[in-house]
Amino acid sequence: MLGFFYDIDMRIEDCFYLGKIVKKYSFKGELLAKLDTDQPDLYDDLDAVFVQVGRNFLPFFIEKSSLHKSDLLRLKFEDIDTEEDADQLLKCELYLPLEFLPKLEGNKFYYHEIIGFTIEDASFGTVGKIVSVNDTTAQPLFEVERGSIEILIPMNDDIIKKVDRERKTIHIEAPEGLIDLYLE
């Protein structure tokens, strides 16, 4: 069972996006949330979640939850007992504290985890520091800062050779000429 204590100082930056409430399930205030995960079964027995209601980031305690049709989570929150109560939460996003993310190993990583890592290219050497990840494009990109220059590097398994968490470094083999394009 995943549980956490109510933390009044919890901020959205301390959490990860779990999913979104997509529809009501029953007239008793039950809801269905679409989870944004490859492993929905990790989250089928939660004690609580944070729900973003408008600009507020509120803890909701869960009476019961269960997986419904693979990636939907059926939720019954405490004190949400009617369809009208449930209506107020439709389309709201769900979050959990970062410590509930499963640990990744090898060359797998979470985007938030690699901010501040250094990119080392096999041919070029030190490229710069990762300041962000752009995941609004067809393929996510490392946004790397090198002095006053921003360098965009595709995040793909063929390019990423090693993630070194101890040294906070990602070793890559960028396509020939890619880094030079930004420096000319």
DSSP 133-164: EE-SSSS-EEEEEETTEEEEEE--TTTEEEEE
Upper half-sphere CA count for residue 61 (Cβ side, 13 Å): 7
Sorting pLDDT into bands at 50, 70 and 90, what band is 4? very low
pLDDT at residue 34 tops 80: yes
What is the architecture of the domain spanning 12-100?
Answer: Beta Barrel (2.40)
Residue-level pLDDT at 1: 35
Sorting pLDDT into bands at 50, 70 and 90, what band is 5? very low
Cα distances from 154 to residues 107, 140, 168, in angstroms, run: 15, 6, 19
Range in 1-10, 41-50, 98-107, 149-158 the model is least confident about: 1-10
Sorting pLDDT into bands at 50, 70 and 90, what band is 128? very high
The answer to whether 150 and 142 are in contact (CB under 8 A) is no
Q: Which residue from 4, 8, 62 is spatially nearest to 33, judged by alpha carbons?
A: 62
Sorted by where each begins, the domain ranges of the chain are 12-100, 111-183
Q: Is 94 helix (H, G, I), strand (E, B) or coil?
A: strand
The answer to whether 110 and 163 are in contact (CB under 8 A) is no
**Residues in Cβ contact with 4 at an 8 Å cutoff, skipping those fewer than 6 apart:** 47, 48, 96, 97, 99, 100
Tell me whether domains 12-100 and 111-183 share a fold.
Answer: no
The mean predicted confidence, pLDDT, of the chain is 88
Q: Phi then psi for 53, rounded to 5 degrees?
A: -110, 105
Spatial distance between the Cα atoms of 44 and 25, rounded to a whole number of angstroms:
16
Residue-level pLDDT at 163: 95
CATH topology of domain 111-183: SH3 type barrels. (2.30.30)
Host H or E run for residue 182: helix 178-183
Residue-level pLDDT at 151: 96
**What DSSP assignment string belongs to 29-93?**
S-EEEEE--S-GGGGTTBSEEEEEETTEEEEEEEEEEEEETTTEEEEEETT--SHHHHHTTTT-E
The answer to whether 62 and 16 are in contact (CB under 8 A) is no
∠ CA 84-89-93, nearest 5°, is 170
